[in-house]
Amino acid sequence: MSVFSVPRLRAFVLAVLPVLAFLIVWEAYVRIAGTDPTVLPSPSRILLTTFDSLGVLLVNTRQTLIEAGVGMGIALVAGCALGALIAASPMLRRMLYPPLVVSQTIPMIALAPLLVIWFGFGILPKLLVVALVTFFPIVVSVADGLASTEPEMIRLLQSMGASRWQIFWKVRAPGSLPYLFSGVKISITYAVIGAIFAEYVGAFQGLGILMQNAKNSYRADLMFSAILVTAVLSVGMFLAVVGLEKLLIPWHARSTQREEG
């Protein structure tokens, strides 16, 4: 299907319409009521500020993107390893699963400042926060994915004389990829927000610290610009994962399409 086919265009228009309506009402309200721009700037003003501050926005976005990306990478490696351990044996599952669930109950708002106290204002506490908020969906999806292999499939491989290792790499691991991608799609939406939150607690650079500075200097317009960039960044990363999924596991997209069709 082409990117510009009629159904896609239709879907796009339908999605944009309510947002557009909202922005028009907002713009009209600010102009008619004459609101103070330090309290609520108009969409047009936010757009202008975004273009004017493109330089500072880009520098900070770059920092946040690196934190979100690398943090996500750490989560991916740690998540796959833990997921594989959990799927490896019922004993390991019983040992690892409960502490993992408990780890997710720790409020990040308490942990992030502690991480800054321990590791300073550098990139490390940001990476840790991003990794901590993103790795859980990955662990769960990998563990479920590895456990989803049909028992008959495993028996077939055993009858061929396959080792555990061969069964893992030829059947279980590739079969868990669709699950992994579901987990990553959930995680990636937390990654940027996690990075921004960590920066907010204390940082030299990044969208989080930019937001804090904007707030402190009553620059509501710049604040909204940063929000806009954050949204674009998150959606962009999500779409990158979707693209990667289509590239790496085309068989999955095709088989699900078949089931739906």
Q: Report the interface residues with other proteins, using CB under 8 A.
A: 150, 152-153, 155-162, 166, 170-171, 174-175, 177, 249, 251-252, 254-255, 258
Q: How far is the CB of 250 from other proteins (least distance, A)?
A: 8
Q: How far is the CB of 80 from other proteins (least distance, A)?
A: 18
> Tokens representing 130?
């991003």
Q: Rounded CA gap, 60 and 204, in Å?
A: 9
Residues whose CB is less than 8 angstroms from the CB of residue 53 and which lie 6 or more positions away in sequence, other chains included: 222, 225
Q: Rounded CA gap, 170 and 168, in Å?
A: 6
Q: Rounded CA gap, 29 and 65, in Å?
A: 34
Q: Are 106 and 112 in contact (CB under 8 A)?
A: no
- Burial bucket for residue 170 (CB in 10 Å: 0-12, 13-18, 19+): middle
Rank residues 75 and 184 by Cβ distance to other proteins and give the closer one. Answer: 184
Q: How far is the CB of 157 from other proteins (least distance, A)?
A: 7
Rank residues 62 and 246 by Cβ distance to other proteins and give the closer one. Answer: 246
Q: Rounded CA gap, 125 and 206, in Å?
A: 13
Q: How far is the CB of 150 from other proteins (least distance, A)?
A: 7
Rank residues 90 and 151 by Cβ distance to other proteins and give the closer one. Answer: 151
Rank residues 85 and 162 by Cβ distance to other proteins and give the closer one. Answer: 162
Q: Rounded CA gap, 261 and 251, in Å?
A: 15
Q: How far is the CB of 249 from other proteins (least distance, A)?
A: 7
